[in-house]
Structure 1
Amino acid sequence: MSDIIAADQLRLFIERIERLEEEKKGMADDIRDVYSEAKSQGYDTKTMRAIVRLRKMEKHARDEAEALLDTYKAALGLS
């Protein structure tokens, strides 16, 4: 009997994951649509994606990443 319960529980986990994956796909499609709309309005989506990434970071991590980027740019003569 515990095998049946375990199988039912496993099936429920799999079904939940499948639903969440479908929701994730829907969200990704929505995000892609927003970027497409922004692009059609003349915005640079590559830069927008970089800004979204930066806004996800904490300030100290963002400052550290920017300082490192500046150091690398200076070392390569891109400053």
Structure 2
Amino acid sequence: MSNKEQRRRTAAGHGDNSLDETTRAKLQSIVARVERLEEEKKGIADDIKEVMAEAKALGFDTKAIRAAIRLRKIDRAEREEAQMVLDLYMDAIGD
């Protein structure tokens, strides 16, 4: 028995390779929802690229902007602690 056949037999606990209509409908709904979300995610990613291109055209450093956005997601106290540790390590290695 191939791996594909084995996965099919164990999928959702059904040994006969079939899903009842309710289960099939739920699965189709889940897949459709994920596909819609993936499309939305792609659209948002495209929007972010446009905004970053605008920032670059205005002379901003997009790498620094991305770093600032990443850091703003971290709690201030955690950021400060991480910065202190980084400073300590940089000092220890002589840089």
| Same-fold call, TM cutoff 0.5 | yes
What's the % identity of the aligned pairs?
49
Q: How well do the aligned residues superpose, as a CA RMSD in angstroms?
A: 1.2
Gaps spanning 5+ residues in structure 2: where?
1-18
Gaps spanning 5+ residues in structure 1: where?
none
Matched residues in 2 for 1:7 and 1:46: separation?
Answer: 46
- Structure index of larger Rg: 2
Write 1 or 2 for the structure with the bigger share of helix.
Answer: 1
> Runs in 1 of length 4+ with deviation above 3 angstroms?
none
**Normalising by the residue count of structure 1, what TM-score does the alignment of the two structures yield?**
0.90
Tell me which moved more, 58-67 or 7-16: 58-67
**Normalising by the residue count of structure 2, what TM-score does the alignment of the two structures yield?**
0.76
Cα deviation, 1:30-52, whole Å, max 9, x if unaligned, reads: 01111111001100000000000
With a CA cutoff of 8 Å and minimum separation of 6, indicate the structure with the bigger relative contact order: 1
Within 5 Å, give how 1:67-78 maps onto structure 2: 67-78=84-95
